[in-house]
């Protein structure tokens, strides 16, 4: 007859069991629940949106929509019961969508995350839920719905930062991030370049701004060429996919390259203005 698992062994097994199985297992045993409460929750994806939350596909909705089956509703109650009273949840990716007030969050948790996405959220509500031990974030994707100050610790920590917005990004030029992608930005590239000229910028920094079409990219490059004609140097064409721009000395050992790039992925073309420090 096999020997029963020891307490430390049970803790180790439960910690790395898939969330769905872990919830069902512990719901049937008060002994397992006591052990489970003492170990971290680990999951791949946590998604929260206006009274709705999902943990690796296990979902709960405050509104209990008619399309949900009785099994969905049962699992939702299990999820809420399971998460209540926990101090922290470790997830690879946390996604917050249209979270505007604390009332939009059915359960307050402390998250340790690798990747974070915020879609049209009040960041003052979301950010307190992210444990600072998550920093630096591996990736942060922001989709603000209003002018936003991005010169804050959680944004500055991201190794890869992606922002989609039509609104002003306050403090963008001050960010120390080395990899930034801006989609549909209303951004003053002149302001960014001038700030870097005055304050310097770390080598290997690359900001890319996506334009809607090739004409917009060419027009932006022409405008920048004219704006910095007194300090710029011509930049030779590097390859056929790059639209030649110019370079600006930043220091005795570094310079800023400003150019355009055309990408083709599965016949889908994107056009980017690139600011790269070398």
Q: What is the pLDDT of residues 163-199, one digit of tens each?
A: 999 899 999 999 999 999 998 776 789 999 999 999 9
Residues 24 and 147 in one domain: no
Confidence label for 260 from pLDDT (cuts 50, 70 and 90): very high
Residues 34 and 59 in one domain: no
Q: What's the average model confidence in pLDDT over 225-241?
A: 79
| Global confidence as pTM | 0.86
Number of domains composing the chain: 3
Q: What percent of the chain has pLDDT over 70?
A: 91
Full residue range of the structural domain in which residue 94 is found = 42-130
**Buried (b) or exposed (e) across 13-26, using 16+ Cβ within 10 A?**
ebbebebbebbeeb
- The better pLDDT of the pair 223, 22 is held by 223
Answer whether residue 4 shows pLDDT above 70: no
Which among 242, 253, 157 has a CA at the least distance from the CA of 201? 253
- Give the lowest-confidence range in 138-152, 179-193, 249-263: 179-193
Q: Are 272 and 263 in contact (CB under 8 A)?
A: yes
> What distance in Å separates the CA atoms of residue 96 and residue 105, rounded to the nearest whole number?
10
Under DSSP, the state recorded for 232 is: -
Residues 262 and 182 in one domain: yes
Decide which of 102, 130, 158 is a domain's last residue: 130
**61 Cβ partners below 8 Å, 6+ apart?**
51, 52, 68, 76
Q: Which two tokens stand for residue 181?
A: 């992608």
Phi–psi pair at 203, nearest 5 degrees: -60, 145
List beta partners, residue 42.
Answer: 90
pLDDT tens-place string over residues 30-86: 888 888 877 888 899 999 987 788 888 778 776 666 666 777 777 778 888 888 877
Residues 29 and 53 in one domain: no
> What distance in Å separates the CA atoms of residue 77 and residue 107, rounded to the nearest whole number?
12
Residues 117 and 149 in one domain: no
At 277 the pLDDT is 96
> What distance in Å separates the CA atoms of residue 1 and residue 272, rounded to the nearest whole number?
66
Confidence label for 140 from pLDDT (cuts 50, 70 and 90): very high
Residues 272 and 172 in one domain: yes
């Amino acid at each position: 007859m096999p020997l029963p698992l020891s307490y430390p062994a049970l803790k180790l097994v439960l910690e790395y069991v898939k969330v769905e199985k872990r919830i069902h297992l512990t719901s049937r045993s008060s002994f397992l629940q006591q052990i489970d409460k003492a170990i971290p929750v680990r999951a791949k994806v946590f998604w929260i949106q206006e009274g709705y939350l999902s943990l690796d596909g296990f979902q709960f909705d405050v509104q209990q929509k008619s399309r949900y089956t009785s099994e969905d509703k049962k699992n939702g109650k299990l999820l809420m019961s399971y998460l209540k009273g926990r101090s922290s949840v470790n997830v690879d990716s946390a996604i917050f969508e249209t979270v505007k007030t604390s009332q939009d969050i059915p359960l307050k948790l402390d998250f340790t995350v690798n990747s974070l996405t915020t879609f049209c959220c009040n960041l003052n509500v979301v950010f307190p839920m992210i444990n600072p031990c998550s920093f630096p974030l591996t990736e942060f994707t922001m989709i603000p719905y209003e002018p936003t100050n991005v010169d804050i610790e959680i944004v500055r920590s991201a190794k890869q930062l992606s922002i989609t917005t039509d609104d002003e990004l306050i403090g963008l030029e001050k960010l120390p991030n080395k990899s930034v992608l801006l989609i549909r930005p209303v951004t003053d590239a002149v302001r960014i370049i001038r700030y870097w000229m005055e304050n310097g910028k770390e080598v290997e920094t690359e900001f890319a701004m996506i334009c809607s079409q090739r004409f917009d990219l060419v027009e932006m490059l022409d405008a920048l060429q004219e704006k910095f004609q007194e300090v710029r140097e011509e930049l030779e064409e590097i390859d056929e996919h790059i639209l030649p721009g110019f370079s600006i000395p930043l220091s005795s050992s570094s310079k800023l390259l400003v150019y355009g790039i055309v990408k083709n992925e599965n016949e889908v073309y994107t056009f980017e203005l690139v600011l790269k420090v070398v």
